[in-house]
Amino acid sequence: MVKAGRFLSAAALIGAAWVGVGAHFYGAVLDPRRDKRGALRGLRDGNDRTARHAADAWLADAPARSRVTIDARDGLRLSAIFLPAAEPSHRWAVCVHGYMSRAERMGVYARWYHERGYQVLLPDLRGHGESEGRYIAMGWHDRMDLFGWLFWILLRDREAEIVLHGVSMGASAVLMAAGETLPENVRAAVSDCAFTSAWDELRDQAAHRYPHVPPRLMMRPLDAVTRARAGYGLREADALAQVKKARIPILFVHGDADRYIPPEMMERLYAAKPGARARLLVEGAGHMGAVDRAPEAYWDAVGRLLGPLGL
């Protein structure tokens, strides 16, 4: 009995430690209320962000912009910036921000589309900006939130022709949405530095943050805690699996100096996409830095994607 008691006590301690490891890592990377400076290591790449900052200032001062909201399927109130076109237009761009960012930081993308006559919608992902939410969905629940925004558009414009443009986690959300049955109004997508899956990305982050701990010892408890607190598994949030089912044309963009999401992930996503697709690898660009490092090449590639579609 004494040995059995010791065994149970040891098992209880191991179990508590296992859950504690998962809870610690969850707080570090998936709780939007926690400090993310460590999780964002590798985002500062030295690329010139002057044009990006100027575009964010332009968006902040745009007189026609407004805040709009919808309710997600699980009842969360989601918020977005809506920037109407200067002239009546059926062309729409939905630009989706990345991890621990927000709609106000998407000015460089919003401006390009708006100057070409698009209606522009900039959602705050759940747990970000002005949207409600107590966890980061890594694109998975965000993909269905995007459907809510698509329906918001279609209620206002049945003839809408829509391009989805995501960066980082927002790009993965776009790819995950593209694997579902999209409204036929969605014509194309741009995926700028997406990850292949939440599991792959967070495993890489675990290896960087805790180099002396085998990643598998972090990932299994993290996955368990994520299922309990956020309602999804990290392997479920799989952009690679979803892109295999995508039928719209997709442009994949990445920087070859990205230290946060490796460019090899773009190659895997590109190879998995059936049908119409294109890619752009920008030399010297860090994470989300392709548009800063090579703006002409970046927007030329977007134009080549959209031009044949009449967008």
Cα torsion 153, 154, 158, 160: sign: positive
Please, what is the Cα angle at 247 between 280 and 292, to 5 degrees?
A: 25
pLDDT tens per residue, range 281-298? 999 999 999 999 999 999
pLDDT of residue 9: 46
* DSSP-assigned letter for residue 236: T
Between 36 and 88, where is the model more confident?
Answer: 88
Question: What band does 1 get if pLDDT is binned at 50, 70 and 90?
Answer: low
Residue 8: what pLDDT?
Answer: 41
Question: Mean pLDDT throughout 40-55?
Answer: 74
SS3 content of the chain, % helix, strand, coil (to 5): 45, 15, 40
CB-facing half-sphere around the CA of 123: CA atoms within 13 A: 36
Q: Which residue shows structure tokens 């809510």?
A: 148
Q: Is pLDDT of 146 > 70?
A: yes
d(CA 82, CA 194): 24
pLDDT at 18 over 60: no
Mean pLDDT of 40-54: 73
34 pLDDT exceeds 80?
no
Q: What is the pLDDT of residue 3?
A: 52
User: Do 249 and 275 meet the contact criterion of CB atoms below 8 Å apart?
Assistant: yes
The pLDDT mean for the chain works out to 91
C-alpha distance across the termini of the chain, in Å: 75
Percentage of residues in the chain with pLDDT exceeding 90? Answer: 80
CA 121 to chain centre: 15
| Residue bearing the bigger pLDDT, 22 or 219 | 219
Domains of the chain and any CATH numbers:
46-197+237-309 (3.40.50.1820)
Q: What is the bridge-based pairing of β-strands 91-96 and 77-83?
A: unpaired
Beta carbons within 10 angstroms of residue 235's beta carbon: 13
- The DSSP output letter for 125 is P
Is it the case that residue 251 has pLDDT exceeding 90? yes
> Would you tell me how many other CB atoms lie within 10 Å of the CB of residue 279?
17
Residue 4: pLDDT band with limits 50, 70, 90: very low
Q: Is the full-model pTM beyond 0.75?
A: yes
What pLDDT shows up at residue 14?
A: 43
**So what's the pLDDT on residue 193?**
98
**Average pLDDT estimate for 3-13:** 45
Give the burial string for 110-119 (b: 16+ CB within 10 Å, else e): bbbbbebebb
- Does residue 15 carry a pLDDT above 80? no
**pLDDT value at 13 more than 50:** no
